[in-house]
Amino acid sequence: LPPGVAAGLRGPILALALEPRPPGATKLESSTFWRIRIGDVRVLHAIDDGDAVVIVLRVARRSESTYRRVR
């Protein structure tokens, strides 16, 4: 991602630590993963409520292959 785009993602990604399911977050079908949209970028993440952990799996611009490898 270009540096300007990456810099704009820092805040929303860090905010997942406080609110792992923010308004607008979507649970992926047939998966335990979640997605948030930040412009045309998607942040895919997993949530472990038991250990209070959020794992960011992928940050990518939306395309046909964005979700292919994380199912």
What is the pLDDT at residue 5?
85
SS3 content of the chain, % helix, strand, coil (to 5): 25, 35, 40
Place of tokens 């810099």: 7
Cα separation, 56 vs 40, in Å, equals 17
pTM metric for this prediction: 0.81
Give φ, ψ of 39 to 5 degrees. 65, -125
> Which residue numbers in the chain have pLDDT < 50?
none
Ordered by where they begin, the domains of the chain are 3-70 (3.30.2310.20)
